Amino acid sequence: MRTVTIADVAKHAGVAVSTVSYVLSGKRAISATTSQRVMRSVRALGYHPNAGARALASKRSNVIALVLPLRAGMHLPVAMQFATSVVTTARQFDHDVLLMTADEGPDGLRRVAASALVDGLVLMDVEINDLRVPLLRELEEPSVLIGFPADASGLTCVDLDFARAGALCAEHLASLGHREIALLGAPHVVYQRGTGYAERTMEGFVEAGQALGLSAIALPCEEGFDEVCATVKTLLEGHPGLSGLVVHNEAAVGHVLGALRVLGRRVPEEVSVVAICPGDVAERASPPLTSVLIPAADVGHQAVRLLMSKLEGAPVPDATLLEPRLTVRQSTTPRL
Amino acid sequence: MRTVTIADVAKHAGVAVSTVSYVLSGKRAISATTSQRVMRSVRALGYHPNAGARALASKRSNVIALVLPLRAGMHLPVAMQFATSVVTTARQFDHDVLLMTADEGPDGLRRVAASALVDGLVLMDVEINDLRVPLLRELEEPSVLIGFPADASGLTCVDLDFARAGALCAEHLASLGHREIALLGAPHVVYQRGTGYAERTMEGFVEAGQALGLSAIALPCEEGFDEVCATVKTLLEGHPGLSGLVVHNEAAVGHVLGALRVLGRRVPEEVSVVAICPGDVAERASPPLTSVLIPAADVGHQAVRLLMSKLEGAPVPDATLLEPRLTVRQSTTPRL
DNA sequence: CCGGTCTATCGAAGCGCTTCGACGGTGTAT
DNA sequence: ATACACCGTCGAAGCGCTTCGATAGACCGG
């Protein structure tokens, strides 16, 4: 069963090859009758344009790269959500997605770009000092970053506004009358690496807390149950008046609740807890957690939209920050 | 900066285009001196073959599709591990990976296959009655499934031997002297959908337990803390002699430990717990859990290896079952 | 009824690569 | 020396598509 080519369609429809091409691409006006005839042939023969030939002739592969480094401390489910929303959105723009990891390093990016395998790139989990960033500036291919490197000039970046997310948590707790609050963040390693979002959340939290006249402290948090327990215990002992806790660490969220249970602090009666995490984690906890959810799907969607604009030569903003939204559930309550 | 083509390399090295091609592909013998000269030119010019042109001429895109449906109850981190090991392995074979979700359904597969965008397919999370399966049989392109559909004839499937994993847990508990054991599985929805691995684990567990003369029961388990708590409570009340628990549900693992803590059952002194889950989840728990880990990386690796063999026309086994391994940690102990 | 303007379609020239057959040149058996 | 095989290299023919310029009508105003 030889595969069907555009020539087969043309013959079947009794038109020229170029006419079929124009019907399919819409780049020139074709009469309705011809167009219909061609489309009927396309369906009758089950024609699918050959991707390689198309790419060669048009200099567009209709594929974008999704570069997804996998590092300690990053949360896989969120990464997965990003990835799927990128794929789904790309498909809406008639593009496919090539999945790349960081194993190959910058050379991998150079390879796929130079070989014209992809038309553009979406990079996830961008670090403050990311090796891939300087390369992006050299590349012909447009790119969009999810996250912000130290120097974002000339780049297109998208992310949740984590500073605002941190601030939102502080404000929510303040509005409930809490006066001493704390944020438990990512593991140490994440900060050492300089992954911007973790730091920005802390800063936003602490600054907003102080601006509201609260005692607000932030500290990293490892992900083992025993470590979480110890951290929470020390925290509570050092700050007896502490009544509001923000957790920005998905692996630790469950453990924090377990720790509070073990330490005999009831949630929310004695300690109000806010999580910054995906919705399902928050809902699945006991009690269901008031949370700021990470809109992974939105971020992925925006990233692709921006990339598509760049591919069409349209101007796009350098920075896109998504507004966080706080959902109140049963883990926060006014301070007694 | 026009992109470098094979003609540029040929001119720079003073040879014919075809010679450059043969040097790069190794499909014909080329003298060492010519070969070196060509390679020097390749490096000097920074040549990268155009993927589209290559695909068009050779009828091979050097891209494989990774089809990753996203469904309720499936565990994202494991999926992510699969994905990355697929990408890494594919790169070792000089292939790239196109990421697809299930949104497009079988049509998406048909599209990428018919357009010669990909040379082969790896499908994850295959269901007992998977719509995509009949299509695969029609396709010219070879494919490998991760998981087993009801009718696997003529297909190549890879998976962890979940029945064996369930059995292994039962045997481990039996060897420690436990006489009444239970398995907490995936949420109901997973069984309703007919996702084979969940059922196979249960069967393996129950059969091995019975063969060893134990009381072994298995039941689904939802993922919310309160639900887990209720399930565990009911279970313990209904089976006062129960001293061994297997958990095959990553989202619930943490909650099960929390539930036992709340119910005042100490682990491992009163209840031994075995988890079937990724290593990091087991290690992060308190106490660290004896576990059978899901060798996602291995499975992905095998899947790609098999696919590459098929691409080269080599015969491959229909079914590849990976042997599970149980790691003893601190959550299991001999029955008092 | 002629030049001018559109519109719908065609034909052909590539895009950059692989691959097939051809062809000198060198080595080996006769 | 002659025939033959073989090795290393070349040239050219596509692969299936897009796109540019050309063309043949249809339609218009003058």
Domains of chain B and CATH, by start: 6-49 (1.10.260.40), 63-160+296-322 (3.40.50.2300), 162-294 (3.40.50.2300)
Is residue A292 within 8 Å of A326, Cβ to Cβ?
yes
**Computed over its alpha carbons, how large is the radius of gyration of chain A?**
25
Rounded (10°) angle between helices B6-13 and B32-45: 120
Q: Which residue is nearest to nucleotide C14 (CA to C1')?
A: A57
CB contact under 8 A, B229 and A286: yes
Is residue A101 within 8 Å of A125, Cβ to Cβ?
no
Q: ∠ at Cα A36 (A30, A40), nearest 5°?
A: 135
- Note the pLDDT tens digit of each residue in A121-142: 999 988 888 888 999 999 999 9
The list of chain B residues with pLDDT below 70 reads 1, 72-74
Q: In angstroms, what separates the C-alpha of A279 from chain B's closest C-alpha?
A: 12
The interface residues of chain B toward chain A in range 34-53, judged by CB-CB distance below 8 A, are: 46, 48-53
Is B140 part of the contact surface with chain A (CB cutoff 8 Å)?
yes
At B336 the pLDDT is: 80
The interface residues of chain A toward chain B in range 276-335, judged by CB-CB distance below 8 A, are: 283-286
B96's torsion region: left (phi>0), alpha (psi -120 to 50) or beta? Answer: beta
Is A219 part of the contact surface with chain B (CB cutoff 8 Å)?
no
Checking each nucleotide's C1' against the CA of A31, the nearest proves to be C8
Chain B CB contacts of A253 below 8 Å = none
Checking each nucleotide's C1' against the CA of B58, the nearest proves to be C18
- Beta strand pairing status for A143-146 and A120-123? parallel
Which residue pairs from B185-189 have beta carbons closer than 8 angstroms and sit at least 24 positions apart in sequence? B185/B218, B185/B219, B185/B220, B185/B221, B185/B248, B185/B249, B186/B73, B186/B220, B186/B221, B186/B248, B186/B249, B187/B72, B187/B73, B187/B220, B187/B221, B187/B222, B187/B223, B187/B249, B188/B220, B188/B222, B189/B72, B189/B73
Is B96 part of the contact surface with chain A (CB cutoff 8 Å)?
yes
Indicate if CB(A25) is under 7 A from strand D: yes
Q: ∠ at Cα A92 (A91, A97), nearest 5°?
A: 25
Q: How far is the CA of A38 from the C1' of C11 (A)?
A: 18
CA torsion sign for B50, A307, A20, B109 is: positive
Q: How far is the CA of A23 from the C1' of C4 (A)?
A: 28
Strand partners, B321: B159
Q: How far is the CA of B6 from the C1' of C23 (A)?
A: 23
At B76 the pLDDT is: 77
Is residue B296 within 8 Å of B322, Cβ to Cβ?
no
Instruction: Tally Cβ neighbours within 10 Å of residue A219.
Output: 13
The list of chain A residues with pLDDT below 50 reads none
Is residue A333 within 8 Å of A244, Cβ to Cβ?
no
Ramachandran angles phi, psi of A122, nearest 5° = -120, 125
- Chain CA centroid to CA B173, Å: 26
Which residue of B lies nearest to A254 if distances are taken between CA atoms? Answer: B254
CB contact under 8 A, A96 and B98: yes
Interface-testing mutation among A24, A43, A56, A329, with chain B (most B C-beta atoms within 10 A): A56
Is A33 part of the contact surface with chain B (CB cutoff 8 Å)?
no
Chain B CB contacts of A262 below 8 Å = 261
Name A27's Cβ contacts closer than 8 Å, sequence gap at least 6. none
3-state secondary structure of B59: coil
Is A135 part of the contact surface with chain B (CB cutoff 8 Å)?
no
CA torsion sign for B312, B314, B318, B320 is: negative
Chain A CB contacts of B83 below 8 Å = 83, 99
Which residue of B lies nearest to A282 if distances are taken between CA atoms? Answer: B224
Q: In angstroms, what separates the C-alpha of B263 from chain A's closest C-alpha?
A: 12
Q: How far is the CA of B28 from the C1' of D6 (A)?
A: 13
Indicate if CB(B31) is under 7 A from strand D: yes
At B140 the pLDDT is: 92
Indicate if CB(B192) is under 7 A from strand D: no
At A177 the pLDDT is: 96
CA distance A89 to A248: 27
CA distance B57 to A162: 48
Q: How far is the CA of A211 from the C1' of D12 (A)?
A: 76
Is B223 part of the contact surface with chain A (CB cutoff 8 Å)?
yes
Checking each nucleotide's C1' against the CA of B33, the nearest proves to be D8
CA distance B39 to B47: 10
Ramachandran angles phi, psi of A27, nearest 5° = -85, -10
Residue B138, token pair as written in the block: 């029609």
Residue B26, token pair as written in the block: 């190794």
Chain B CB contacts of A261 below 8 Å = 258, 261-262
Which residue of B lies nearest to A55 if distances are taken between CA atoms? Answer: B52
Nucleotides in chain C near protein beta carbons (<7 Å): 7-12, 14-21
Q: How far is the CA of A129 from the C1' of D24 (A)?
A: 62
CA distance A26 to A23: 5
* CB-based burial, B221-259: b 16+ in 10 Å, e otherwise: bbbbbebbbebbeebbeeeeebbbbbbbbbbbbbbbbbb
Instruction: Tally Cβ neighbours within 10 Å of residue A336.
Output: 7
Instruction: Report which secondary-structure segment, H or E, holds B18.
Output: helix B17-25
Chain B CB contacts of A61 below 8 Å = 51-52
At A73 the pLDDT is: 60
CA distance B201 to B254: 20
Size of interface A-B (CB pairs under 8 A): 158
Checking each nucleotide's C1' against the CA of A59, the nearest proves to be C15
Nearest to B262 among A66, A116, A261 (CB): A261
Q: ∠ at Cα A129 (A189, A88), nearest 5°?
A: 85
Q: How far is the CA of A2 from the C1' of D24 (A)?
A: 35
CB contact under 8 A, A70 and B56: no
Q: How far is the CA of B66 from the C1' of C21 (A)?
A: 39
